[in-house]
Amino acid sequence: MLSGAIMGLVEGDRTTVDVGDGVRIAATVRGDGPPVLLLHGYPQTSSMWRLVAPLLAERFTVVASDLRGYGDSAKPAGERYDKRAMAADQLALMRALGYERFAVVGHDRGGRVGHRLALDAPEAVSALAVLDIVPTLHMFEHVDRAMATGYFHWFFLTQPGGLPETLISGAPRTWLESRFLGRSVRPGVFPPEVLDEYARCFDDATIAASCADYRAAAGLDFEHDRADRESGRAIAAPLLALWGASSYVGRNFDVAAVWRGFAAGVEGRPIDADHYLAEEAPAETAAALLDFLGREHAA
């Protein structure tokens, strides 16, 4: 369960759903209205939405889920962590909760799961918002010095033989804090109780699962994405791209233009933040999401 400090911020009904093959996915459900699935990034949990979820829940039913391998969800060893498998988890979760069609909002890794979910289950995804990412395929095909230094963990975490797992497990809090501290425009974005919650969930099983997640991105995900491009398969749902004006992604890509190569209808805008939009600029992030989701629901 979430710690008391974070539970008070995330208020809602905590549930765990068996989505098949013994994999259980944990989520918090709150609000009333059209359903919206929120997916977190690395190395976070669904608690990253603690400041945005209450604002969205004024108009929507919000399901904030922990991805396979993260948070309070199952962390099966040696199992698939490609985005197709992780997207299938989330589709099964939403169907178990009674939602056949829903919007998806994903940050970081969650955006990549959302991307795959929109491709694999277009009948289920009414709209997709991706926060501070460009597609995995585009990232790997445009590696340069800036990416190799700023996003070095993409390559470190894919190393075989248990190397990253061993090194990170030796100082997990140090590694965790390196992913957050210094990556914001404003001070105080990650108070101790938030870092404590992320650390609670960053156990050896999560470290192993998250490495498997990144290995899949460089392997099976890349193959799936390339096959989609070669077949001309694109996201059919309306897509909103939000990015941090000061983030690596915001500084190095024309984000909306990149996404237009992967989706039929794209709109986008920067947020005055670094990578963690929902935690650094929650009001601005929520306002952009409410405008987009409100228009798509009205349509």
The predicted-structure confidence for 109-130, as pLDDT tens digits, reads as follows: 999 999 999 999 999 999 999 9
d(CA 181, CA 190) in angstroms, rounded, equals 8
Amino acid symbol at 274: D
Whether residue 299 is predicted with pLDDT greater than 80 in this model: the reply is no
Encoding tokens for residue 160?
């075989």
To the nearest whole number, what is the mean pLDDT of the chain? 94
Q: What is the mean pLDDT of residues 190-214?
A: 96
Burial of 145 (0-12, 13-18, 19+ CB in 10 A): exposed
Contact (CB, 8 A) for 278 and 49: yes
What is the pTM assigned to this prediction? 0.95
Burial of 64-103, coded b for 16+ CB within 10 Å and e otherwise, reads bbbbbbbbbbbbbeeebbbbbbbbbbbbbbbeebebeebb
Options 108, 213, 221, 225, the catalytic residue: 108
| Domains assigned to the chain | 4-298 (3.40.50.1820)
d(CA 65, CA 113) in angstroms, rounded, equals 12
Minimal CA–CA distance to 186: which of 277, 280, 284, 270? 280
**Residue 4: its pLDDT value, please?**
45
Whether 144 is catalytic: no
d(CA 195, CA 286) in angstroms, rounded, equals 22
**Residue 2: its pLDDT value, please?**
43
Burial of 287-299, coded b for 16+ CB within 10 Å and e otherwise, reads ebbbebbeebeee
**Residue 52: its pLDDT value, please?**
97
* Alpha-carbon torsion, ordered 292, 276, 110, 213, to 10 deg: 160
Per the model's pLDDT, the better-predicted residue between 10 and 245 turns out to be 245
Lateral strand order in the sheet of 239-244: 13-18, 24-31, 61-65, 35-39, 102-107, 125-131, 239-244, 266-271
d(CA 205, CA 165) in angstroms, rounded, equals 9
d(CA 108, CA 106) in angstroms, rounded, equals 7
d(CA 7, CA 58) in angstroms, rounded, equals 18
The predicted-structure confidence for 156-185, as pLDDT tens digits, reads as follows: 999 999 999 999 999 999 999 999 998 889
Question: How many residues belong to the chain?
Answer: 299
Whether 203 is catalytic: no
Encoding tokens for residue 172?
């997990």
Compute the C-alpha angle 32/88/202, nearest 5°.
Answer: 85
